[in-house]
Amino acid sequence: MSNTAMLATVSDPDHMSDPNWWRQAAVYQIYPRSFSDSNADSLGDIRGITAKVPYLKALGIDAVWLSPFYPSALADGGYDVDDYRDVDPKLGTLADFDEMAKALHAAGIKLIADIVPNHSSNRHEWFKEALASPKGSAARERYIFRDGKGTNGELPPSDWDSVFGGSAWERITEPDGTPGQWYMHIFAKEQPDLNWSSREVRDDFLKTLRFWSDRGVDGFRVDVAHALTKDLTEPLLSQLELSVANSGTDGFDDGSHPFWDRDEVHEIYAEWRAVFNEYNPPRTAVAEAWVHATRRARYASPAGLGQAFNFDLLQADFDAVEYREIITRNLAEARDTGASSTWVFSNHDVVRHATRYGLPRGTGKHAGSQDGKAWLLAGAPAGELDVELGLRRARAATLLMLALPGSAYLYQGEELGLQEVTEILDAERQDPAFFRDRGVQIGRDGCRVPLPWKVEGTSFGFGDAGSHLPQPDWFSKYAVEAQDGTEGSTLELYRTALKLRRELQTAEELEWVETGNPDVLHFRRPDGWQVVANFGGTAVELPEGAVLVSSSPLEEANLPANSTAWLR
């Protein structure tokens, strides 16, 4: 017995000119400040990325997604942007960027740039002009300024919390030195929200999209894509009212939240799509939108951004039943909308999945679930983490993901099997979430530690100086040098799987094969490609066929526990 989920598109083998290259691409996220340091200042940079293009080509990816590289004070890891049309001098120059784009394209690798439209930094020229201008001025209209409540405006316009803790409003001092209006910031106070009701704001971002597209950027990852439009009509709902009505994601399932996932945001992305289609092949985009599942499709519409991140697998436990439900539902959603699915396990905002999958599932004193955040907050008790099991499951999960129809997003270092770094002192932390929400969040620094390239030496080959976040001693055994050419290493598993994925990739179809075992998933892709994933604790017999790759060594003809294999 089987059932089939089908999507129609098969991409042109030459994905550099193929307008559908993104539909089943393997995309590698680079966090620039932690990838490779070329000038010994402890910070990764653009030239460091260019120097590693041969590594990226050998890995077998189709595209690089570059996290923010713009001028920034790093109040939020570069997501506080001073200038949308320049490169942070600490990371390089526009000429360096052009050279990197050229090198990536020469290697057959597309380039996706992170764009941050919800907010600028408080050092942006526009915001500095707004602070120097009077209430009601055109300069302030680019942001969201409101009068405060209370007798003298001493209270914020609402009691809303920011994502990083504390109020979502910050009071300014007026040009004459008196206490003044308040501006809205969903995130850090250094990240004032832009006013997307302003035609000037909309037009300037269209200019930015063309600026980077003209320099060779092939697509954009849109940060907080669901937050741009707001309705701050009085009376504003209270924080309690927002919390009670929340459906478990950002926004309400009817689109009526005052700042998350409002329907009007899609008018903006229709304008962006018109810009994307000016190019050949058209520029692509993928939305970061933590929204209700029933509302995700609009972000992935061909008339809008075209694709939206699906974080369902990232949030799932290592469980066959849960995986199958998520995969089936998302493929059906993609089929209905004409988009392609996206799959991801790790990124710069979450605990690495090699660590998450080594934590207890719903039984650990601190874990609660496998997101790992409560475990980190509790001091990362070593007794709750099974490092070997976590890596074994992560390898199995990734091998399954790479066989799914749709695009796969990988985060730098996961191809090395890196664990979350927990050995970071409070004084060494950088994430604003840690400082603004103490006792609630430990922050995201542990997944942003610079990569180990060498087994020894200064910063394990990251650069000729130290690293901007501390690297633990155990990084040595995970280094690229330790795994390169080593049979069975996680790096070689990724290289093999990505090479096979490109060779085997065909129509966006998946056919489930019933196994009679709730811990085992089995599906077929066209042309005889089969995938079996064993989520259980004992080995299972594999179906007939030649084994192409497996996440763990086979036990004779059997697939071990917590393992995945591809056959044909």
Summarize pLDDT for 18-62 with one digit per residue, the tens: 999 999 999 999 999 999 999 999 999 999 999 999 999 999 999
Q: Is residue 54, in this structure, part of any structural domain at all?
A: yes
Q: What is the pLDDT of residues 95-146, one digit of tens each?
A: 999 999 999 999 999 999 999 999 999 999 999 999 999 999 999 999 999 9
Cα gap 302→300, rounded to integer Å: 6
At position 229, the amino acid (one-letter code) is: T
Nearest to residue 290, comparing CAs of 309, 269, 273, 274? 309
Q: What is the pLDDT of residues 440-480, one digit of tens each?
A: 889 999 999 999 999 999 899 999 999 999 999 999 999 99
Q: Is residue 284, in this structure, part of any structural domain at all?
A: yes
CATH number at residue 129: 3.90.400.10
Cα gap 163→166, rounded to integer Å: 8
Q: What is the pLDDT of residues 387-397, one digit of tens each?
A: 999 999 999 99
Cα gap 432→436, rounded to integer Å: 6
Which alpha helices (H) appear in 444-489, and where do they start and end? 480-483
The single-letter DSSP state of residue 229 is: -
CATH number at residue 514: 2.60.40.1180
Q: Which of 161-170, 277-286, 362-371, 551-560 has the lowest mean pLDDT?
A: 362-371
Of 56, 84, 116, the last residue of a domain is 116
Query: Rounded to two decimals, what is the model's pTM?
Result: 0.94
User: 226 and 268: one domain?
Assistant: yes
Residues facing 219 on adjacent strands: 112, 284
User: 135 and 108: one domain?
Assistant: no
Q: Is residue 558, in this structure, part of any structural domain at all?
A: yes
User: 110 and 30: one domain?
Assistant: yes
User: 91 and 64: one domain?
Assistant: yes
Q: For the chain, report the end-to-end CA distance as a whole number of angstroms.
A: 19
429: which 2 tokens? 């932390």
Q: Is residue 422, in this structure, part of any structural domain at all?
A: no
User: 31 and 85: one domain?
Assistant: yes
Percent of the chain clearing pLDDT 70 (strictly above):
96
Of 96, 116, 136, the last residue of a domain is 116
Check whether 5 has a pLDDT greater than 60: no
208: which 2 tokens? 């930015």
Q: What is the pLDDT of residue 527?
A: 87
Total count of domains within the chain? 4
User: 165 and 132: one domain?
Assistant: yes
Q: What is the pLDDT of residues 331-387, one digit of tens each?
A: 998 998 888 999 999 999 999 999 999 999 754 333 345 689 999 999 999 999 999
Question: Catalytic pick from 264, 278, 541, 555?
Answer: 278
Check whether 84 has a pLDDT greater than 80: yes
Of 116, 144, 166, the last residue of a domain is 116
User: 133 and 103: one domain?
Assistant: no
**49 touches 100 (CB < 8 A):** yes
**104 touches 111 (CB < 8 A):** yes
Q: Is residue 57, in this structure, part of any structural domain at all?
A: yes
User: 178 and 153: one domain?
Assistant: yes
Check whether 10 has a pLDDT greater than 50: no
Check whether 488 has a pLDDT greater than 50: yes
Q: What is the pLDDT of residues 210-228, one digit of tens each?
A: 999 999 999 999 999 999 9
Would residue 484 show up in a list of annotated catalytic residues for this protein? no
Question: Catalytic pick from 82, 223, 261, 312?
Answer: 223
Q: Is residue 385, in this structure, part of any structural domain at all?
A: no
User: 76 and 33: one domain?
Assistant: yes
Q: 407: Cβ–Cβ under 8 A, 6 or more apart, which residues?
A: 22, 23, 24, 25, 26, 27, 307, 340, 341, 342, 343
Mean model confidence pLDDT for the chain: 93
Q: What is the pLDDT of residue 437?
A: 78
CATH number at residue 47: 3.30.750.90
Supply the range of the domain harboring residue 560: 506-567
Q: Is residue 382, in this structure, part of any structural domain at all?
A: no
User: 83 and 108: one domain?
Assistant: yes
Q: Is residue 154, in this structure, part of any structural domain at all?
A: yes
Pairing state between β 342-344 and 540-541: unpaired
Would residue 223 show up in a list of annotated catalytic residues for this protein? yes
Nearest to residue 62, comparing CAs of 9, 7, 22, 31? 22
Nearest to residue 415, comparing CAs of 42, 60, 49, 44? 60
